[in-house]
Amino acid sequence: MDFKDYKGVWVFIEQKDDMVASVSLELLGAGRKLADKRGVELAGILIGENVKHLTKTVFEAGADTVYVYDQPIFKHYRTESYMKALLDCSDKHKPEIILYGATSTGKDLASAVATDLPTGLTADTTELDVEEETGLLLASRPAFGGNIMATILCKKYRPQMATVRSKVMKALPPEIGRTGKIVEETISLKEEDIRTKVLEIVKETVKKVKIDEADIIVAGGKGLGSFDGFQLIHRLAETLGGAVGASRDVVEAGWIDHPHQVGQTGVTVTPKIYFAIGISGAIQHIVGMKNSGIIIAINKDKEAPIFQNCHYGIVGDAFEIVPLLIEMFEHALAKEKVTK
Amino acid sequence: MLHIVACIKQVPDTKIIKMNPKTNTMDRRTAPAILNPYDAHAVEEAVRLKHKYGGIVSVVTMGPPPAVSAIKKCIEIGADEGYLITDRRFAGADTLATSYAVTKAIEKIAKTRPVDLIICGKMSIDGDTGQVGPGIARRLDIPPLTSVNKVVEINQEEGYAIVHRKLEDGYEAVRSTLPCLFSVEKTINEVPYSPLPNMIKAARYTPQIWSVDDLEGVDITQLGLKGSPTIVSKVWAPPKPAGGSILEGNPRAQVEQLLSVLLEKKELFEAKEGV
Ligand SMILES: Cc1cc2nc3c(=O)[nH]c(=O)nc-3n(C[C@H](O)[C@H](O)[C@H](O)COP(=O)(O)OP(=O)(O)OC[C@H]3O[C@@H](n4cnc5c(N)ncnc54)[C@H](O)[C@@H]3O)c2cc1C
Ligand SMILES: Nc1ncnc2c1ncn2[C@@H]1O[C@H](COP(=O)(O)O)[C@@H](O)[C@H]1O
């Protein structure tokens, strides 16, 4: 393998319902930095049916080139068909780095592609960098279930690959009218050759908890002690008009459902105000909320790591502080209204 | 008769594990080893399918000798056979090398009893990648189906399976040819307490134990640390941000300061109050 043949940073462009997934736009933002540092092209690889017009969005988000596989066989995401397109493209154009969103589709695809290439794949990356001289990808993620980060390298294989958490990287503001080179590719793949078939896609009508879009999140941890204790979090959230978040331990205890979990194996959130109440501040939790506008921690242990990751901290008992906060907040709002 | 193989892993209970603050490494001695919680659901699903369609459930794991206890736990859940592949040469494997070794074990198991279905957990709580399952499927050249949260039908005669795959906003029903591999979500089932006869069987059970030399056609260079393209170059404690200002005073004074911070962002609350 001659590393000199491998050039450029690629982003797998995930699309659905005629839209480019936001994580792909974020990765184009992150990929742009890597490509510029290395002095190479940034490319998107777009696979689907009737998706060619999405290239516009991809260029505006920072790509120089988009490789497009637009064929009916790609109507639904399927591991085997998408993988074949990606392998075909990688074989022909030899990128140095391929990034995927750490979504269920991105992880599924990347795992299969990595095995066939073969190459190394770093999962759930939260920080990306590249060595300018060698092109070595520095992919970092929380590791070993502790409060540490690990940087993972793939020295002997190309391309280097990573899946990257959504909401961690920043998309560039779209540069309207920016264009680039479209490279149209096809592969000869017959429907009979694909061993899986999507029979039906069902959108669940149940209202999803969209805590990743809330301006205010009140998150509670194991420190609330019990299911009943955790109701205090709901009360504060209601008072402030915010959404409820939780640590993984709370979800595992069954005090609230998984869609509320913030962190590495939950959602990443960036609200304007984030309350962490009775949460110790493990790295897996921190990576999911550290980009919030104002982080407020309430914890009775003054050594808790959460205090290293907050803007304002109160060392105290949640059962004393939170009811007081609810009372005083309501009072203050009422006063506001009267004076107006 | 279905032959289902569940891939399982013994993991340190990361909830209890302590870190060595000097070296930034896991102090494995402090953590009890458990069956990866996600894999318990994989085994449970295999056992349910066995009860529904008839068949045999084998579990396979690559790990150090104590991993026998994780296999016993699977026998308690209702698995019939267990296989442990253990060898120093497997040590230090990343997901690519792990899927290679586990595949070799499955190939050997399949020699005596062809495999119809492989079930993996969504992820391991220590590796935490979810990459091993699809890796095994690719190596065996069978379709990988990840995020499976319901098995609708297994039709061995006609050679297909229908499952639901969880999507961000619902699910999709997918039909696949058999054999294939599922990575299952935790929500697919609940693992009940094990019935007493299974506990008794598990206590007496000894799994089949194989070293590298017991497997066939193994390319040693693809095993363990040597066969792993990814390497951990650096482990570091995340930079500690300056830290926030700790609000001083008695609780009422603390909350008052907090309130003034919040009220600076009044617009957020006003929207809600409709003022
Ligand atoms: C692979 C992996 C992935 C993970 N993913 C996630 C994830 O996505 N999200 C996540 O959150 N975690 C995740 N974790 C778990 C994480 O490591 C921590 O175990 C978890 O975040 C701890 O939850 P906690 O802070 O609620 O509980 P604890 O660590 O038990 O902390 C409870 C805190 O409450 C405080 N407290 C107790 N009583 C009171 C009181 N009356 N008033 C105020 N404070 C009080 C205590 O001082 C303590 O700091 C993951 C772990 C692993 C290994
Ligand atoms: N050492 C192993 N032996 C057998 N199966 C494994 C092993 N490691 C991982 N698996 C399987 O692969 C799944 C995903 O693991 P991971 O890719 O480590 O997150 C697990 O839930 C197991 O089903």
Instruction: Output the tens digit of pLDDT for each of chain B's 275 residues.
Output: 999 999 999 998 866 666 665 555 566 666 789 999 999 999 999 999 999 999 999 999 999 999 999 999 999 999 999 999 999 999 999 999 999 999 999 999 999 999 999 999 999 988 889 999 999 999 999 999 999 999 999 999 999 999 999 998 889 999 999 999 999 999 999 999 999 999 999 999 999 999 999 999 999 999 999 999 999 988 887 665 556 788 988 999 999 999 988 888 877 776 544 33
Ligand 2 atom closest to the Cα of residue B127 is 18
Q: Which of B76, B57, B168, B172 is nearest to B115 (CA)?
A: B57
Nearest-angstrom CA–CA distance, A211 and A24:
20
- B2-222 belongs to which homologous superfamily? HUPs (3.40.50.620)
Using a 6 Å cutoff on CB, does residue B95 contact ligand 2? yes
Q: Which domain holds residue A169?
A: 9-193
- A255-295: pLDDT as tens digits: 999 999 999 889 999 899 999 999 999 989 998 998 888 99
Ligand 1 atom closest to the Cα of residue A319 is 41
Indicate the pLDDT class of residue A337, thresholds 50, 70 and 90: low
Query: Could you tell me which residues are beta bridge partners of residue B166?
Result: B171
Rounded to a whole number of angstroms, the distance from the CA of A68 to the nearest CA of chain B is 24
> Is residue A205 one of the residues assigned to a domain?
no
- Tell me what the mean pLDDT of segment A79-83 comes to: 97
| Chains A, B: CB pairs < 8 Å | 251
> Is residue A4 one of the residues assigned to a domain?
no
**Is A331 in CB contact (< 8 Å) with chain B?**
no
- Mutation probe of ligand 1 site: the residue of A236, A262, A264, A303 with most atoms within 8 A of C-beta: A264
Rounded to a whole number of angstroms, the distance from the CA of A26 to the nearest CA of chain B is 18
> Is residue A198 one of the residues assigned to a domain?
no
User: Are A77 and A136 part of one and the same domain?
Assistant: yes
- Inspect the interface and report whether the beta carbons of A143 and B232 lie closer than 8 Å: yes
User: Are A124 and A225 part of one and the same domain?
Assistant: no
- Tell me what the mean pLDDT of segment A89-95 comes to: 98
Q: Which of B135, B247, B271 sits opposite A111 (nearest CB)?
A: B135
- Chain B CB contacts of A108 under 8 Å are 134, 144, 146-147
Using a 6 Å cutoff on CB, does residue A285 contact ligand 1? yes
User: Are A143 and A277 part of one and the same domain?
Assistant: no
Q: Are B9 and B70 in contact (CB under 8 A)?
A: yes
Residue A281 among known ligand-binding residues: yes
Token code pair at residue A195 = 């061993």
What distances in angstroms separate CA B229 from CA A34, A158, A162, A330, B152, one per listed residue? 21, 10, 13, 57, 37
**Is A154 in CB contact (< 8 Å) with chain B?**
yes
Q: What one-letter code names the amino acid at B114?
A: P
**pLDDT score for B239:** 62
- Mutation probe of ligand 1 site: the residue of A224, A232, A280 with most atoms within 8 A of C-beta: A280
- Inspect the interface and report whether the beta carbons of B269 and A241 lie closer than 8 Å: yes
Domain boundary among A193, A223, A253: A193
- Inspect the interface and report whether the beta carbons of B176 and A215 lie closer than 8 Å: no
H or E segment to which residue B145 belongs:
strand B144-155
Nearest-angstrom CA–CA distance, B55 and A35:
53
**Is A80 in CB contact (< 8 Å) with chain B?**
yes
Using a 6 Å cutoff on CB, does residue B121 contact ligand 2? yes
Q: Which of B130, B238, B266 sits opposite A107 (nearest CB)?
A: B130
**Is A243 in CB contact (< 8 Å) with chain B?**
no
> Is residue A86 one of the residues assigned to a domain?
yes
The total of structural domains in chain A comes to: 2
**pLDDT score for B242:** 57
Rounded to a whole number of angstroms, the distance from the CA of A41 to the nearest CA of chain B is 24
Report the relative pairing of strands A148-154 and B230-236 from DSSP bridges: antiparallel
User: Are A66 and A27 part of one and the same domain?
Assistant: yes
Nearest-angstrom CA–CA distance, A186 and A259:
38
Provide ipTM, 2 decimals. Answer: 0.84
- Chain A CB contacts of B177 under 8 Å are 195-196
**pLDDT score for A210:** 77
> Is residue A72 one of the residues assigned to a domain?
yes
The dihedrals phi and psi of A122, each to the nearest 5 degrees, come to -100, 130
Nearest-angstrom CA–CA distance, B44 and B60:
14
- Inspect the interface and report whether the beta carbons of A121 and B96 lie closer than 8 Å: yes
- Tell me what the mean pLDDT of segment A150-178 comes to: 95
DSSP reduced 3-state for A296: strand
Measured in Å, residue A148 CA sits from the centre of ligand 1 at 15
- A9-63: pLDDT as tens digits: 999 999 998 999 999 999 999 999 999 999 999 999 999 999 999 999 999 999 9
Using a 6 Å cutoff on CB, does residue A221 contact ligand 1? yes
**pLDDT score for B261:** 87
**pLDDT score for B128:** 83
- Inspect the interface and report whether the beta carbons of B235 and A143 lie closer than 8 Å: yes
- Inspect the interface and report whether the beta carbons of B172 and A307 lie closer than 8 Å: no
Using a 6 Å cutoff on CB, does residue B101 contact ligand 2? no
- Chain B CB contacts of A196 under 8 Å are 143, 145, 174-177, 180
User: Are A215 and A188 part of one and the same domain?
Assistant: no
User: Are A165 and A227 part of one and the same domain?
Assistant: no
User: Are A31 and A145 part of one and the same domain?
Assistant: yes
Q: How many C-beta atoms lie closer than 10 Å to residue B91's C-beta?
A: 14
**Is A309 in CB contact (< 8 Å) with chain B?**
yes
For Cα atoms A76, A269, A219, give the angle at the middle one, nearest 5 degrees. 125
User: Are A17 and A75 part of one and the same domain?
Assistant: yes
DSSP reduced 3-state for B136: helix
User: Are A292 and A324 part of one and the same domain?
Assistant: yes
**Domain extent listing, chain B:** 2-222, 241-275
Ligand 1 atom closest to the Cα of residue A264 is 8
Domain boundary among A193, A227, A243: A193
Residues of chain A with pLDDT > 90: what percent?
A: 84
Q: Is the pTM of this model over 0.90?
A: no
> Is residue A53 one of the residues assigned to a domain?
yes
**Is A162 in CB contact (< 8 Å) with chain B?**
no
Q: Which of A249, A315, A324 sits opposite B246 (nearest CB)?
A: A315
| Helix ranges restricted to H, A42-149 | 55-60, 79-93, 104-116
B42 or A335, which is more confident: B42
- Chain A CB contacts of B191 under 8 Å are none
A85 or B32, which is more confident: A85
Which CATH number do you get for residue A149? 3.40.50.620
A100 dihedral zone (left: phi>0; alpha: psi -120 to 50; beta)? beta
User: Are A181 and A293 part of one and the same domain?
Assistant: no
User: Are A51 and A149 part of one and the same domain?
Assistant: yes
Helices and strands, number each (H, E), in chain B: 7, 15
> Is residue A303 one of the residues assigned to a domain?
yes
User: Are A66 and A134 part of one and the same domain?
Assistant: yes
Domain boundary among A133, A159, A193: A193
- Tell me what the mean pLDDT of segment A193-217 comes to: 84
Q: Is A120 exposed, middle or buried (0-12, 13-18, 19+ CB in 10 A)?
A: buried
- B124-167: pLDDT as tens digits: 988 889 999 999 999 999 999 999 999 999 999 999 999 999 99
- A217-260: pLDDT as tens digits: 999 999 999 999 999 999 999 999 899 999 999 999 999 999 99
Q: Which of B96, B234, B269 sits opposite A118 (nearest CB)?
A: B96
Helices B196-204, B68-77: inter-axial angle, 10-degree rounding:
150
Q: Is the pLDDT of residue A184 over 50?
A: yes
What distances in angstroms separate CA A275 from CA A30, A64, A141, A283, A313, one per listed residue? 28, 40, 24, 16, 10
Q: Which of A111, A325, A329 sits opposite B134 (nearest CB)?
A: A111
